A and B are shown apart, each in its own frame.
Chain A
Amino acid sequence: MPDLSRLDPLKPFLPWLLLALGLVAPFALSAYDLNLLARFMAMGILALGLVLIWGHGGILSLGQGVFFGLGGYAIALHMKLADLPSGEIPDFMVWSGRDSLPFWWTPFSSPAFTIAAILIVPTLVGALFSWAVFHRRVGGTYFALITQALALAFSTLIISRQDVTGGFNGLTDFYSVFGFGLASPGTGSGLYWVTLAVLCVAFVALRWLLASRFGILLRAARDGENRVRFLGYSPTPFKVVAFAIAAMLAGVGGALFTLHAGVVSPALIGVVPSIEMVVWVAIGGRYSLAGAIVGALLVNLARDAVSSAFPELWLYLMGALFIFVVTLLPRGLAGLVKRKAA
């Protein structure tokens, strides 16, 4: 496998090219387009996590929206509190009949706590959830179905606890984050750079992780879970750790997305958006980190371009594209190259 990729002289330059484009973008794009690109890059961070668990771990998660949402809601809680005059509670709590802040909201007024929560909460939830399933050796299709039920249950729960979550409306109307006004153009481009930096760090870190013994064992567990077990390794922790890392990336992506979009809501985290996240990676290439980023960008751009002009067409297109890619192009766009090289 490694020899084949070395055959291709251009491959090492692809991430660099993407990086170069990412560096040039702020000087070439309007504020609106830059914001759009930044959102899609935040989704790209989540997509990287799917490469880790789905491509290399064989773990199909149809519930990444849950972790995306956990990160998004964590930062949203902070921004809601930051803009609040002292002694008041967010408006949606008032019209939902609440008169005090729930206790678990209060620590989110601290930026440090918020950042820690964005990193830790999705990771911990991902670890506990996946451990509960994997340690009983339930996996594969069963796991995918359970994650889908998780996405449904989580979004339903957020909606039904309107008094503390903002319900169906989600959380929006933010003015500042960590002391920077969101309306100022400087903040917009600053957040873009942060997103680009996080994306790069995640990319490099995952690249290292996938090349390490951890990555080898993850692939080994994907291809022969029992073989790995009979070599004396317990596959569960590798799968759980991978899942937790993917959950963390989804959470970070969700938090950054919320900053760029100015809203987090159940519409982003339910069953359908969670599957669409898999679509990005399927199209970009489930085994390729760079491919996943490209997939997240392309699918979202295509939706942006197509769905307003041809709303019906979009759904047919997405369905057909998905069937096509999964059946005939399982390595996605990134695999167009590999297969011919082989």
Chain B
Amino acid sequence: MIRSRLLLLATSACALALTACSGGGGNASAPAGDTVSVGVLQSLTGTMAISEITVKNAEMLAIEEINAAGGVMGKQINALVEDGASDPSTFAQKASKLIESDGVSTVFGGWTSASRKAMLPVFERTKNLLWYPVQFEGNECSPNIMYSGAQPNQQALPALEWAVAQGHKSFFLVGSDYVYPRTANLILKKHIEKGGMQVLGEAYVPLGGTDFSGVIAKIAQAKPAMIINTLNGDSNVAFFKQLQAAGINTKTMPVMSFSIGEQEAQAMGAGLVEGSYAAWNYFQSLPSDANSKFIAAYKAKFGKDAAITDPMVHGYLDVYAWKAAVEKAKSFDPQAVRKAAASLGGFDTPMGKVSFAANQSLVQKAYIGKLKADGQFEIIADSGKDIAPEPYDALAFPGKTCKL
């Protein structure tokens, strides 16, 4: 009896002791010894894990390659992987742990804007640096984040320009109910209206939602020339299936998607979405030696069926950009690194030569792809020139600029 009581006491004591033990470690941003620690912080569990694990893989691949090639300034990279659990507060907590308890020099990670927003105060407080690899809605510009994913003017707007050039004049906007679709659509609407064209409707379904009957009925009634789709993940399968079932032909009413990449296409059964369009800064089908090499390396490590997507390549190039910036700054200090990164100039990546602008976002091209039966995209157009990133769309958010 008393023994079991002690058990309870012990467990509660452990609760506190565990907290005490889980920490420790110094707070050094100038690493001693032969290694330098960096954080890799993605959701390994929860709803976002499906996407974020692939980015984690790409980031780990880059780190291994760099280590195999001699490391950064003679130091091997020690990657500390943490799980953000698809929960913003966990991201904030783990970022704080990586920086303050584990003393990492920088962190690669995040996918949703929610996770980035939650981590931002941590990075600003600790003056550390986050490398964020995913397209987002802009409207943010922190000195402690390097934004390599597309700003709206590097993905959504080029896609609209292309669609207009194809003669489409009326649009229906469908999205998952969260920040990126709503804000991207806000920007698109301003541009569509300014161009004298029409937005015939706008509809959102909850994240992960699979009932599109009402949305599709509205689309069928509105008869837009093109559907602009910012649905996320599984919802796309349901949307395209129900579109098809309702007799809407995506050949006559084409769909432009901003969140369907190779991974999603593979999962959806490409037959369903074949012929629909997507805009990204990278497609797996991009012809270049650097890309082929990256794809081969990834597949060798993570399986030959793995699909390669835009955010993965951004995660991968982030690590290389950090290495280059460290070597340019000759320091692991995040402040020195971010300054060096913004003045690196062009560097080679699987998606071609890119560079970081002074506002710490990536200068990159946009591509329009058409989905083929094999789940790969045929690149049918590109922006031609490199597009300078604009966190604040001048039309939708006049007067806002990014000052760093």
A residues engaging B (CB < 8 A)? 7-11, 14, 17-18, 21-22, 25, 28-33, 35-37, 39, 91-92, 94-97, 156, 159-160, 162, 167-170, 172-175, 183, 257, 261-265, 267-268, 273, 290-291, 294, 297-298, 301, 303-305, 307-308, 311-312, 314-315, 333-334, 336-337, 340-341
Contact of B93 among A36, A312, A314 (CB under 8 A): A36
Contact of A159 among B22, B88, B207 (CB under 8 A): B207
Contact B87 A172 (CB under 8 A): no
In the complex, A7→B5 CA distance in Å? Answer: 12
- Identify 11 residue pairs between A and B in the complex whose beta-carbon atoms are under 8 Å apart, listed by A's number: A35-B96, A36-B22, A162-B179, A167-B179, A170-B118, A173-B117, A262-B121, A268-B87, A307-B45, A311-B44, A314-B45
Contact B19 A36 (CB under 8 A): yes
Q: Rank and list the top 4 A-B pairs by shortest CB-CB distance, nearest first.
A: A168-B178, A311-B44, A297-B15, A308-B83
Identify the stretch in B6-14, B156-164, B261-269 within 8 Å (CB) of chain A at 4 or more residues. B6-14
Summed over the interface, the residue pairs from A and B with CB atoms below 8 Å come to a total of: 193
Contact A305 B22 (CB under 8 A): yes
Contact B179 A168 (CB under 8 A): yes
What is the distance, in angstroms, from B54's C-beta to the closest C-beta of chain A?
A: 14
**A272: nearest chain-B partner, CB-CB:** B46
Residues in A whose Cβ lies below 8 Å from that of B20: 28-29, 33
Contact A8 B1 (CB under 8 A): yes
In the complex, A334→B7 CA distance in Å? Answer: 10
In the complex, A249→B96 CA distance in Å? Answer: 27
In the complex, A307→B90 CA distance in Å? Answer: 11
Contact B83 A265 (CB under 8 A): no
Contact A169 B117 (CB under 8 A): yes
Contact A37 B19 (CB under 8 A): yes
Task: Take A35-B96, A168-B207, A261-B93 as given contacts and tell me if A307 and B85 are in contact as well, using a CB distance cutoff of 8 Å.
Answer: yes
Apart from A156-B177, A170-B114, A265-B118, what 19 extra A-B contacts exist at CB < 8 Å? A14-B9, A17-B13, A18-B12, A30-B24, A32-B97, A94-B139, A168-B177, A169-B113, A169-B179, A172-B121, A261-B93, A262-B92, A264-B89, A265-B114, A298-B12, A307-B83, A308-B82, A315-B45, A337-B7
Query: CB-CB contacts of B367-379 with A at 8 A, as 1s and 0s?
Result: 0000000000000
**A183: nearest chain-B partner, CB-CB:** B125
**B2: nearest chain-A partner, CB-CB:** A10
**Residue among A11, A91, A262 with the most chain B CB within 10 A?**
A262
Contact B93 A39 (CB under 8 A): yes
Query: CB-CB contacts of B89-105 with A at 8 A, as 1s and 0s?
Result: 10011101100110000
What is the distance, in angstroms, from B4's C-beta to the closest C-beta of chain A?
A: 5
What is the distance, in angstroms, from A323's C-beta to the closest C-beta of chain B?
A: 19
Contact B100 A265 (CB under 8 A): no
**A174: nearest chain-B partner, CB-CB:** B121
State whether the Cβ of B137 lies closer than 8 Å to any Cβ in chain A: yes
Contact A94 B397 (CB under 8 A): yes
In the complex, A290→B96 CA distance in Å? Answer: 29
**B183: nearest chain-A partner, CB-CB:** A95
What is the distance, in angstroms, from B167's C-beta to the closest C-beta of chain A?
A: 28
State whether the Cβ of B86 lies closer than 8 Å to any Cβ in chain A: yes
Contact of A97 among B7, B16, B186, B400 (CB under 8 A): B186
How many of B's residues come within 8 Å of A, CB to CB? 62
In the complex, A14→B18 CA distance in Å? Answer: 18
In the complex, A295→B318 CA distance in Å? Answer: 40
Contact of A160 among B2, B83, B139, B204 (CB under 8 A): B204
**A171: nearest chain-B partner, CB-CB:** B117
**B177: nearest chain-A partner, CB-CB:** A160
**Residue among B13, B18, B112 with the most chain A CB within 10 A?**
B18
State whether the Cβ of B219 lies closer than 8 Å to any Cβ in chain A: no
Contact B45 A168 (CB under 8 A): no
In the complex, A160→B175 CA distance in Å? Answer: 11
Residues in B whose Cβ lies below 8 Å from that of A167: 177-179, 182
**A21: nearest chain-B partner, CB-CB:** B16
Contact A169 B182 (CB under 8 A): no
Contact B1 A95 (CB under 8 A): no
Contact of A265 among B19, B89, B93, B125 (CB under 8 A): B89
**Residue among A156, A169, A183 with the most chain B CB within 10 A?**
A169
State whether the Cβ of B199 lies closer than 8 Å to any Cβ in chain A: no
Task: Take A95-B183, A96-B183, A170-B117 as given contacts and tell me if A308 and B94 are in contact as well, using a CB distance cutoff of 8 Å.
Answer: yes
Within 8 A of A (CB), among B94-138: 94, 96-97, 100-101, 112-114, 117-118, 120-122, 125, 137-138
Contact A336 B125 (CB under 8 A): no
In the complex, A35→B400 CA distance in Å? Answer: 35
Residues in A whose Cβ lies below 8 Å from that of B92: 172, 261-263
Contact A159 B120 (CB under 8 A): no
Task: Take A33-B23, A168-B207, A336-B7 as given contacts and tell me if A14 and B12 are in contact as well, using a CB distance cutoff of 8 Å.
Answer: yes
Contact A301 B15 (CB under 8 A): yes
Residues in A whose Cβ lies below 8 Å from that of B23: 29-30, 32-33
State whether the Cβ of B358 lies closer than 8 Å to any Cβ in chain A: no
Contact A340 B1 (CB under 8 A): yes
